[in-house]
Structure 1
Amino acid sequence: MESLLVSTLVVAIAEIGDKTQLLAIILATRFKKPIPIIMGILVATLLNHALAALAGSLVAHYLQGAWFQWLIAISFIAMAAWALIPDKADDEEGGAVGRYGVFATTAVAFFLVEMGDKTQIATVALGAQFHSVTLVAAGTTLGMMLANVPAVYLGEAATRIVPLKYVRIGAALIFLGLGLWGVATLLGLFK
């Protein structure tokens, strides 16, 4: 249960102000069809984060040892610094729907934009830490939905509700806390 809750919290906070959330806002203001956009986000995130959690779990299974645990802890600390860097939406993100419709456009765009994104990297690290693909993927997907569904419905107003500077600081503190928790565990401070 810890893996589900931590995964949800980490990704929900890290997603605020992230490029995929900005993509959700762009798609919502451009197409004004929230249900297909939300379903596209859900499908893309489930697939992307299940693969990311699986990758993290497999890597952790085959690469065991203290050095790998140090790598995971350091990756969370590095992500704390990355969380402080604001994301900007790319100009081409809000392009035409074309023949595939809003759902397919959203699903493909989200899947591709999420590749290498901090929330995907966090999912890999969480999968490696908790060794539970199902709970980590469910938690990170829930976190994405908690951050993106309001963004779809509120559009640009969502970015004015929560000061992104403070959200980024909060996300950085959570990543830092996870990293320091890993370091403290490796040093034997938690037994």
Structure 2
Amino acid sequence: MAFIKTLFLVLIAEMGDKTQLLAAALASKYKVRDAAIGIFIATILLNVIAVLLGSSIGNLIPMKLIQIIAGVLFIAFGIMTLKEDDEDEEEVKETKLKLPNFVTVALAFFLAELGDKTQIMAFTLAAQLKSPVSVLIGAVIGMFIADSLGFLFGSYIGSKIPENYIKLVAGFVFIIFGLSTLYSLLNIAVFLLITITVGIMVYFVKFKKDS
């Protein structure tokens, strides 16, 4: 019963969530296999944290701080994606240390989902139903099914659109996710300052040389 209830609730909560759009963006940039493996790894880690640690993580590190860090890192990931589009491919191969694609996907997805409503829901259900294993399995499967729809759609789009446009869209998606995360956590003046700074960085990284 705990498994079915968790799977259903997490699946419904994840449908239309920002991480579904992220899954589509990641799958449009990377192979479906890498996107699937990365998202599956991140999903397991996220739900293990939710079920095993739950509210304890809030006593160790404030969730607000975790979300702020995640937002900043997401913006950085987006800017790097935009910059990568303009770098010479051969130079990148020679000088840039790259993580395996599935690791990059897992990291991006983990940061986006950390502290999100579905992770909090998994913790709540584990506390209520007193069945952590069933809740963990249900949450992992429910989240993965929902986000699989996203990366299958992203893979289809990726086969139809040139790679440079995909990277451009993906970069802005990551930046928007980061800014939307920070919007509800920071003072409006600080948020506007960060937004302006990010805009200037994007201009110099992506558009200045074209002007």
Using the size of structure 2 for normalisation, the TM-score is: 0.53
Residues 49 and 141 in structure 1, CA contact (< 8 A), matched pair in contact too: yes
Q: How many residues align?
A: 126
Q: 2:36 aligns with which of 35, 38, 42?
A: 38
Q: Give the Cα separation in 2 of the matches to 1:18 and 1:30.
A: 19
Stretches of structure 1 lacking an aligned partner (at least 5 in a row): 60-89, 159-191
Query: Which letter maps to 1:102?
Result: N
**Equivalent residue number for residue 130 of structure 2:** 131
1:82-121 superposed matches below 5 A: 96=81, 99-121=98-120
**Equivalent residue number for residue 25 of structure 1:** 24
Cα distance, 1:140 vs. partner? 0.5
Q: Give the Cα separation in 2 of the matches to 1:149 and 1:54.
A: 25
Q: Give the Cα separation in 1 of the matches to 2:22 and 2:77.
A: 6
Cα distance, 1:156 vs. partner? 8.5
Residues 23 and 93 in structure 1, CA contact (< 8 A), matched pair in contact too: no
Q: Give the Cα separation in 1 of the matches to 2:130 and 2:51.
A: 8
Secondary structure of 2:98's counterpart equals: helix
Cα distance, 1:49 vs. partner? 0.3
Q: Give the Cα separation in 2 of the matches to 1:121 and 1:16.
A: 16
Residues 40 and 144 in structure 2, CA contact (< 8 A), matched pair in contact too: yes
Residues 10 and 139 in structure 2, CA contact (< 8 A), matched pair in contact too: yes
Using the size of structure 1 for normalisation, the TM-score is: 0.58
Query: Identity percentage over the alignment?
Result: 39
Q: Which has the larger radius of gyration?
A: 2
Secondary structure of 1:100's counterpart equals: coil
Cα RMSD (Å):
2.7
CA displacement, residues 85-128 of structure 1 (integer Å, 9 cap, x when unaligned): xxxxx766655386013200111111121111010110111111
Q: Give the Cα separation in 1 of the matches to 2:19 and 2:102.
A: 15
Stretches of structure 2 lacking an aligned partner (at least 5 in a row): 58-73, 85-96, 158-211
Cα distance, 1:44 vs. partner? 0.9
Q: Give the Cα separation in 2 of the matches to 1:46 and 1:20.
A: 15
Q: Confirm whether residue 11 of structure 1 aligns to residue 2 of structure 2.
A: no
CA displacement, residues 142-164 of structure 1 (integer Å, 9 cap, x when unaligned): 00111011211122889xxxxxx
CA displacement, residues 38-70 of structure 1 (integer Å, 9 cap, x when unaligned): 1111111111101101234989xxxxxxxxxxx
